[in-house]
Every structure is written in structure tokens, then in C-alpha cells.
Amino acid sequence: MKEQDLNIKYTEFESINELDEENKHVLSEARQACLHSYSPYSGFSVGAAVKCNDGRIVTGNNQENAAYPSGLCAERVAIFSAMSQNISTRIEKLAIAVKTKNGSVIQPVSPCGACRQVIAEYEHRQGSKIEIIFSSESGKTIIVDSIKALLPFTFNADFLP
Ligand code: THU
């Protein structure tokens, strides 16, 4: 038996102003995308922006449904939209923003488990890391350089026979 330890590396920013210009821009697109979220049931508007290797920034937002599980998270709307437009796209960055009525979300909102699995699929497929920038309404932001920080021991196509 051997006890193992797993560490993750992330960078924390108290304000969006601390980000470099490119990350500020991608995150501002995610923030903008919150405005078109369809989230009448949760009141929790999420926006996502994907920066592609060809320079495109593709945005998405959460789309809810009266049959709750039929809705989709912002991250997957943005990623699937970007990937469905060009099969050879590589994703360099994914920014995530949130907006609520009272602006009370002060901790950065990280992607849910299902979105992590989807991000992992494309990172594995493209063979290069996807930087993930996730933020709060107050501006506090965290950056990880790969989905591996958020989803260790990832299940991917390598396991399939
Ligand atoms: N949501 C996202 O869009 N992304 C996340 O990473 C977390 C949750 C959405 C799903 C649902 O529409 C609402 O936020 C509340 O869970």
C-alpha cells in the first residue's frame, strides 16, 4: 500500500484588472454572454467564451428548460458551438462568468462535472491544454492551465478497447 498525494496549481486574482489583456478580453466576452442566458428557473445566468486557435471567440450561455435536465450549461453550449463550426478547431482558452440579480456570487464559479468531462474530451482530442478562467461577480478569478487540475484521473478514449 502506498499513500499518494495530488496537488493542483492555480492562479488567483482579486480583480479582473489583474488579468492580462487577452484574458481580460475573453472574460469580458463571457460576461457579455451572461446577458443572453435563458435561466428563468435558477435565476443564475452563466456565460462562457471559447478562444480558438484560429482567433475566433465563440460564446454561449446556460439554456434552461421547464423539463430541468433538458437544459444545458453555458460551457457546453459555447464549446459545442465552436467545435460544430470547424472540426479542426483547437480550443486555447475557456472563460466562465456568472450574473445574478443581487450580484451575490463572490467565489469563482467552476465548471460542473459534466462540463469538465466535455472539456477533457476536447483537450484529449487536440493534444494540447485548454486554459480555464473562471470568475465571480465581484471579479475574483481563478485560472488553471488544464482540465487536469479540475478533473484528475480523467476517463478518456484511451480506456476504450
Ligand atoms: N450552470 C452552468 O451553466 N455552468 C456551470 O458551470 C454551473 C451551472 C448553469 C446550469 C443551470 O442553468 C444554472 O447554472 C444553475 O445550476
Q: What is the pLDDT of residues 107-160, one digit of tens each?
A: 999 999 999 999 999 999 999 999 999 999 999 999 999 999 999 999 999 999
The band of 24, judged by pLDDT with boundaries at 50, 70 and 90, is: very high
**Is 75 one of the catalytic residues?**
yes
List 29, 64, 75, 92, catalytic entry: 75
pLDDT at 49: 98
pLDDT at 14: 97
CA distances from 18 to 14, 23, 91, 139 (A): 7, 10, 23, 10
pLDDT at 82: 97
**46 close to ligand 1 (CB < 6 Angstrom):** yes
CB 96 within 8 A of CB 37: no
Cα(100)–Cα(7) distance, integer angstroms: 32
Q: Under DSSP, is residue 113 helix (H, G, I), strand (E, B) or coil?
A: helix
The band of 5, judged by pLDDT with boundaries at 50, 70 and 90, is: very high
**64 close to ligand 1 (CB < 6 Angstrom):** yes
Cell of 1: 500500500
Distance 106 CA to ligand 1 centre (A): 16
**8 close to ligand 1 (CB < 6 Angstrom):** no
pTM of the predicted structure, to 2 decimals: 0.97
11-156: CATH number: 3.40.140.10
Q: Specify the length of the chain in residues.
A: 161
Distance 4 CA to ligand 1 centre (A): 32
Q: Under DSSP, is residue 151 helix (H, G, I), strand (E, B) or coil?
A: coil
pLDDT at 30: 98
pLDDT single digits (tens) 33-88? 999 999 999 999 999 999 999 999 999 999 999 999 999 999 999 999 999 999 89
Beginning with the edge strand found earlier in the chain, give each strand of the sheet holding 57-61 in spatial order.
Answer: 11-13, 141-144, 131-135, 91-99, 45-52, 57-61
C-alpha R_g of the chain: 16
Pocket-testing residue among 31, 37, 50, 62, ligand 1, by greatest number of atoms within 8 A of Cβ: 62
